[in-house]
């Protein structure tokens, strides 16, 4: 680490009565950054490391400090009579006026300065104790106090700058969250001096305007924090006199939506560093093949060596403890695959995969396949039949059968034959005696819990139902509390789990997150035989990616030959060879040569098409919309005019960020979207209360007469909604069955089509029907008043909720990479923040009934 030339420094944290140190790991990475920037032809770099957290800011801080030591200018800064100066190294902002030099040009040179109330000869060295500022009011001499704590920078870089940042030719542009940067520099201290005062920090915006992030106004910024890549590029263009030395981008994921801007950045001749923990082939091709970025990738062996060399690290800040924990898990990872059996689940699972190549791609077939696949996945993921509500599960199978019957005329015969074969398999499963039926997976799970009872273990179910039941089953059978998670994204590194037992079959990004999150050292999978080859191929593909894509070309020139980590850089594996445990009773294991990545893309495309179908029986009204995928298994289709509530700025930007309404074309992957729902019925209840307070109880009663009439009619049909619907439909009803149910349940204030009043009245007949027709104008007028009260009440509740949410500090959720956040806003109801994973590029036609709604998906 010949480029790491700064002195070691002591770290303290506000509110923590303990001293910490920086880590050897941080030194290694910042040293590589410095060595690259010193080259005549510095590279643009993607730094691919096993775990990303706020340790990135420690690398950034170390990088800036090292660069400041090398860029220090130990030369005289000359002033003219009348110049307004700020004395550096003071707690308060001290402004004086330059008068003249004494003994100018000699070793004993001093300067004469003027305060508001006096003139004095400075005992401070005139070379570097002052910074020229804009003319302003002078301070009094009594205010002048030197604070030696502020000279932490000089202790670290072994220079005498007195915190005069004009003496450094260091300006690093950091593209990341402004709020998280502010927290980092304000809560961490070096030599008892807050980091925010140790170097000069500033922030910028989309206009490229640079302002102080903390401290005194200065034109000399050592680190400028930009909230986005576009704002960073604009800042460079607007402030060409700033002479930026390097650009550091917090996360490769943030680059997805700014590829044009990244290309411009890479062409400016300023070294660009991008932090990453998972890079895929698409990004490698874009950045490394097309933009000539160099990939710096650390595999298991070099990280293990780096960890061993950092064994002397003592008393680290918690961010670096978490970093070392993740690195230790990464470099010592074990993967054990236990193959278990179940004849029915295996048969159903294998055929559900095979079906993808057999069925057509028309929307209704895709919808049926999507529903069957969800049920198949659920069955393959559960740990115990006790986690499955068998009655509900069978009802869902029957719903699929009814859907096929109702839409039979739209489904090709070949597809119906395939669906029939699968449904027969489900019927065979339900013919079993479930009183005696115990999954081998359940027995194996408890065997593993017993075997590892002294470990800190957790369970990842990969299923969105039955987790609380599984927790209760484990609690009933084991004395030890064991947490059950739906996905690894819900687990934090500080939970310090040593083992994760993956009971449910995860696919796609969920499986990637389990394998590469490095939140646990040992991963134990419970899989069925048909899933084994798939998992082995997935592990192999992760390692093959780094074998075939070149990395670390220039690193061998950056570190001395005796560097012990360097020879290991050729070992690029990120996952170990799995240990596979198969019982002798298990026969031939299927060798599935399916292209996993291609299959998962196909499944996603089928899912899109499945959304375009509908279970409604009547004429379906379609609407142009885009499919939006959210993280953690949520999705929805949204119309062009839908207004999203974007809180991305609040997740990690500046203090004045708030909720912003955006249309469909403005949102992008990675954005955080607020979805707000009031408590069930709260709007109608409050609207009714307000009408009563305004003496409008009779109006409210009048608005409900048509619903009362509908309930009378419903009773006549023996509460059979479907028969009632068919009768009304024949009489001219213009809505579908779901809307009729809403009417009966009192959800709808009034029919949109007034003619539906006549249809209800005619079906009702007699005096009740006649009264409904005669009073229809009054009833509809009363309904309009109720609508206005509900709109006002809803707006009042939403505004109050948004105001409450706007006051929350949401930025820490972004730091821990939480993708779904549930907020309980007191009496206003629940608000959920979803993070966008993917957005369709084009609009398609979707049933109106599902547009602008978010629903949980199982895939």
Task: Give DSSP secondary structure letters for 636-654.
Answer: EEEETT--EEE-HHHHSS-
What pLDDT does residue 687 have?
A: 82
| Total number of residues shown for the chain | 859
* Range of 132-141, 229-238, 771-780, 842-851 with top mean pLDDT: 229-238
Pairing of strands 188-190, 110-114: unpaired
| 648 plus 797 within the same structural domain | yes
What pLDDT does residue 474 have?
A: 86
| 469 plus 527 within the same structural domain | yes
Lowest mean pLDDT among 174-188, 494-508, 669-683: 669-683
- Asked if 247 contacts 175 with a C-beta cutoff of 8 angstroms, the reply is yes
Q: Where are the beta strands (DSSP E) in 389-486?
A: 457-460, 484-485
The proportion of the chain whose per-residue pLDDT surpasses 90, expressed as a percent, equals 26
What pLDDT does residue 526 have?
A: 95
* DSSP character at residue 97: E
Q: What whole-number distance in Å separates Cα of residue 374 and Cα of residue 858?
A: 6
CATH number at residue 64: 3.40.50.300
What pLDDT does residue 593 have?
A: 63
**506, 540, 574 - which closes a domain:** 540
pLDDT score of 242 more than 90: no
pLDDT score of 115 more than 70: yes
Compare 502 and 632 and report the one with higher pLDDT.
502
Give the pLDDT mean for 232-248. 92
Lowest mean pLDDT among 95-109, 124-138, 454-468, 496-510: 124-138
Q: What whole-number distance in Å separates Cα of residue 393 and Cα of residue 379?
A: 9
What pLDDT does residue 467 have?
A: 81
Average pLDDT along the chain: 84
What pLDDT does residue 827 have?
A: 55
Q: What whole-number distance in Å separates Cα of residue 9 and Cα of residue 157?
A: 10
Q: What whole-number distance in Å separates Cα of residue 634 and Cα of residue 655?
A: 29
Give the pLDDT mean for 479-490. 85
Flag whether 3 is in a domain.
no
Compare 69 and 708 and report the one with higher pLDDT.
69
**Three-state secondary structure call for residue 613:** coil
- Read off the pLDDT of residues 747-785 as tens digits, 9 standing for 90 and up: 777 777 778 878 888 888 888 788 777 878 888 888 888
Flag whether 549 is in a domain.
no
pLDDT score of 581 more than 90: yes
What pLDDT does residue 594 have?
A: 64
Opening angle at CA 842, ends 838 and 845, nearest 5: 110
| 822 plus 741 within the same structural domain | yes
What confidence tier does 524 reach under pLDDT thresholds 50, 70, 90? Answer: very high
**478, 507, 540 - which closes a domain:** 540
* Range of 268-272, 529-533, 676-680 with top mean pLDDT: 268-272
Domain span holding position 763 = 619-859
Compare 159 and 578 and report the one with higher pLDDT.
578
| 692 plus 749 within the same structural domain | yes
Q: What whole-number distance in Å separates Cα of residue 384 and Cα of residue 437?
A: 10
Q: What whole-number distance in Å separates Cα of residue 155 and Cα of residue 159?
A: 7
Backbone angles phi, psi at 619, to 5 degrees: -60, 130
pLDDT score of 428 more than 70: yes
- Read off the pLDDT of residues 159-205 as tens digits, 9 standing for 90 and up: 888 778 888 899 999 998 888 888 899 899 998 888 988 888 999 98
Tell me which residue has tokens 């930009």. 226
What pLDDT does residue 740 have?
A: 82
Flag whether 796 is in a domain.
yes
Q: What whole-number distance in Å separates Cα of residue 501 and Cα of residue 311?
A: 29
What pLDDT does residue 449 have?
A: 93
- Asked if 526 contacts 382 with a C-beta cutoff of 8 angstroms, the reply is no
- Asked if 737 contacts 618 with a C-beta cutoff of 8 angstroms, the reply is yes
Q: What whole-number distance in Å separates Cα of residue 625 and Cα of residue 635?
A: 13
**540, 563, 585 - which closes a domain:** 540
pLDDT score of 858 more than 70: no
Burial readout 684-696 (b: 16 or more C-beta within 10 A, e: otherwise): bebbbebbeeeeb
What pLDDT does residue 287 have?
A: 94
What pLDDT does residue 232 have?
A: 94
- Asked if 287 contacts 311 with a C-beta cutoff of 8 angstroms, the reply is no
Give the number of domains in the chain: 4
Q: What whole-number distance in Å separates Cα of residue 342 and Cα of residue 345?
A: 6
**Sheet with 457-460, side-by-side order of all strands:** 484-485, 457-460, 499-502, 522-527, 334-339, 579-582
Flag whether 590 is in a domain.
no
* DSSP character at residue 594: -
Give the list of residues 6+ apart from residue 689 with CB closer than 8 angstroms, or none.
none
Compare 522 and 494 and report the one with higher pLDDT.
522
Give the pLDDT mean for 618-637. 79
Write the CA distances from 730 to 137, 532, 738, 761, 773, integer angstroms: 85, 55, 17, 14, 19
Flag whether 490 is in a domain.
yes
Q: What whole-number distance in Å separates Cα of residue 828 and Cα of residue 392?
A: 32
Inter-axis angle of helices 776-806 and 682-693, nearest 10: 110
Query: Is the CA virtual torsion 763, 766, 771, 774 positive or negative?
Result: positive
Lowest mean pLDDT among 230-234, 523-527, 562-566: 562-566
What pLDDT does residue 614 have?
A: 63
What pLDDT does residue 711 have?
A: 86
What confidence tier does 438 reach under pLDDT thresholds 50, 70, 90? Answer: confident
Write the CA distances from 8 to 24, 62, 151, 154, 345, integer angstroms: 10, 10, 15, 12, 59
What confidence tier does 678 reach under pLDDT thresholds 50, 70, 90? Answer: low
Compare 502 and 163 and report the one with higher pLDDT.
502
| 455 plus 351 within the same structural domain | yes
pLDDT score of 602 more than 80: no
| 302 plus 344 within the same structural domain | no
| 649 plus 776 within the same structural domain | yes
What confidence tier does 337 reach under pLDDT thresholds 50, 70, 90? Answer: very high
Flag whether 588 is in a domain.
no
- Read off the pLDDT of residues 687-724 as tens digits, 9 standing for 90 and up: 888 888 888 888 888 888 788 888 888 888 888 888 88
Residue 723, token pair as written in the block: 């028969």
Residue 855 forms beta bridges with which residues? 635
What pLDDT does residue 217 have?
A: 64
**Model pTM?**
0.79
- Read off the pLDDT of residues 811-855 as tens digits, 9 standing for 90 and up: 666 666 677 777 776 655 667 888 888 888 788 888 877 888 887
- Asked if 191 contacts 152 with a C-beta cutoff of 8 angstroms, the reply is yes
Flag whether 254 is in a domain.
yes
Compare 521 and 795 and report the one with higher pLDDT.
521
| 249 plus 285 within the same structural domain | yes
| 394 plus 473 within the same structural domain | yes
What pLDDT does residue 87 have?
A: 83
Give the pLDDT mean for 144-151. 75
Measuring CA to CA, which residue among 72, 455, 519, 457 is closest to residue 326? 519
| 177 plus 282 within the same structural domain | yes
Flag whether 571 is in a domain.
no
Burial readout 167-193 (b: 16 or more C-beta within 10 A, e: otherwise): bbebbbbbbbbbbbbbbbbbbbbbbeb
| 214 plus 324 within the same structural domain | yes
What pLDDT does residue 755 have?
A: 80
| 259 plus 373 within the same structural domain | no
């Amino acid at each position: 680490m010949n480029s790491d030339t700064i002195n070691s420094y002591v770290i303290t944290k506000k509110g923590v009565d303990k001293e910490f140190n920086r880590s050897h790991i941080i030194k290694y990475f910042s040293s590589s950054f410095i060595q690259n920037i010193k080259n005549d032809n510095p590279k643009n770099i993607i730094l691919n490391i096993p775990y990303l957290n706020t340790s990135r800011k420690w690398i950034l801080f170390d990088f800036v400090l090292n660069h400041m030591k090398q860029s220090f200018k130990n030369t005289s800064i000359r002033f003219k009579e009348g110049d307004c100066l700020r004395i550096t190294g003071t707690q308060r902002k001290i402004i004086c006026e330059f008068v003249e030099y004494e003994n100018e040009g000699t070793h004993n040179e001093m300067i004469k300065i003027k305060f508001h109330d006096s003139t004095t000869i400075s005992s401070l060295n005139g070379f570097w104790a002052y910074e020229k500022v804009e003319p302003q009011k002078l301070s009094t001499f009594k205010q002048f106090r030197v604070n030696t704590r502020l000279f932490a920078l000089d202790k670290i870089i072994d220079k005498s700058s007195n915190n005069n940042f004009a003496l450094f030719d260091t300006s690093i542009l950091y593209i990341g969250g402004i709020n998280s940067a502010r927290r980092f520099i304000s809560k961490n201290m070096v030599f008892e001096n807050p980091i925010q005062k140790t170097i000069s920090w500033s922030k910028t915006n989309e206009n490229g305007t640079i302002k102080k992030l903390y401290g005194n106004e200065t034109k000399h910024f050592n680190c400028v924090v930009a909230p986005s890549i576009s704002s960073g590029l604009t800042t460079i263009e607007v402030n060409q006199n700033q002479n930026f030395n390097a650009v550091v981008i917090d996360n490769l994921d943030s680059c997805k939506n700014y590829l044009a801007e990244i290309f411009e950045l890479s062409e400016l001749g300023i070294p660009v560093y991008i932090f990453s923990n998972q890079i895929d082939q698409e990004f490698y091709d874009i950045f490394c093949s097309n933009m000539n970025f160099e990939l710096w990738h650390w595999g298991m062996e070099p990280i293990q060596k780096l960890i061993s060399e950092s064994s002397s690290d003592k008393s680290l800040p918690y961010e670096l403890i978490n970093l070392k924990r993740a690195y230790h898990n990464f470099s010592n990872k074990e993967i054990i695959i236990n193959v278990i059996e179940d004849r029915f689940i295996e048969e159903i699972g294998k055929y559900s995969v095979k079906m993808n190549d057999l069925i057509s791609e028309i929307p209704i077939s895709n919808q049926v396949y999507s529903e069957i696949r969800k049920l198949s996945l659920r069955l393959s993921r559960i740990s115990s039949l006790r986690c499955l509500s068998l009655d509900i599960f069978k009802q869902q199978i029957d719903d699929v059968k009814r859907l096929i019957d109702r839409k039979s005329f739209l489904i090709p015969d070949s597809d119906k034959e395939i669906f029939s074969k699968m449904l027969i398999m489900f019927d065979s499963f339900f013919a079993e005696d479930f009183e005696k039926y115990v999954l081998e997976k359940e027995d194996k799970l408890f065997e593993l819990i017993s075997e590892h009872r002294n470990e800190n273990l957790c369970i990842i179910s990969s299923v969105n139902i039955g987790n609380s039941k599984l927790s209760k089953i484990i609690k009933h059978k084991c004395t030890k509390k064991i947490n059950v998670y739906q996905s690894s994204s819900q687990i934090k590194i500080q939970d310090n789990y040593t083992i994760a037992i993956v009971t449910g079959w995860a696919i796609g990004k969920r499986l990637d997150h389990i394998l590469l999150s490095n939140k646990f050292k040992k991963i134990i999978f419970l899989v069925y035989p048909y899933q084994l080859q798939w998992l082995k191929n997935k592990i192999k593909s992760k390692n093959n990616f780094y074998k075939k894509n070149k990395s670390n070309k220039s690193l061998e020139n950056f570190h001395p030959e005796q560097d012990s980590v360097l020879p290991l850089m050729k070992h690029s594996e990120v996952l170990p060879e799995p240990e596979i445990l198969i019982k002798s009773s298990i026969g031939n294991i299927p060798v599935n040569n399916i292209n996993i990545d291609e299959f998962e893309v196909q499944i996603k495309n089928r899912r899109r098409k499945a959304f375009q179908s509908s279970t409604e029986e009547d004429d379906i009204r379609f609407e142009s919309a885009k499919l939006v995928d959210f993280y953690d298994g949520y999705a929805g289709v949204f119309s062009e005019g839908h207004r999203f509530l974007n809180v991305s700025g609040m997740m990690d930007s500046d203090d004045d960020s708030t909720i912003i309404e955006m249309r469909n074309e403005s949102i992008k992957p990675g954005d955080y979207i607020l979805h707000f729902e009031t408590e069930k019925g709260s709007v109608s209840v409050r609207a009714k209360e307000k009408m009563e307070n305004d003496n409008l109880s009779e109006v409210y009663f009048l608005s409900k007469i048509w619903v009362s009439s509908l309930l009378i009619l419903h009773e006549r049909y023996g509460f059979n909604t479907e028969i009632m619907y068919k009768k009304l439909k024949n009489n001219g009803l213009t809505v579908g069955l779901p809307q009729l149910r809403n009417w009966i349940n009192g959800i709808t204030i009034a029919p949109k089509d007034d003619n539906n009043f006549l249809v209800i009245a005619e079906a009702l007949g007699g005096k009740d029907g006649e009264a409904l027709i005669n009073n229809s104008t009054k009833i509809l007028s009363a309904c309009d008043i109720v609508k206005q009260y509900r709109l006002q009440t809803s707006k009042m509740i939403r505004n109050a909720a948004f105001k409450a949410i706007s006051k929350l500090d949401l930025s820490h959720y972004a730091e821990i990479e939480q993708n779904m956040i549930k907020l309980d806003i007191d009496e206003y109801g629940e608000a959920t923040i979803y993070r966008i994973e993917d957005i369709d590029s084009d609009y398609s036609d979707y049933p109106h009934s599902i547009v602008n709604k978010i629903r949980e998906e199982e895939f």
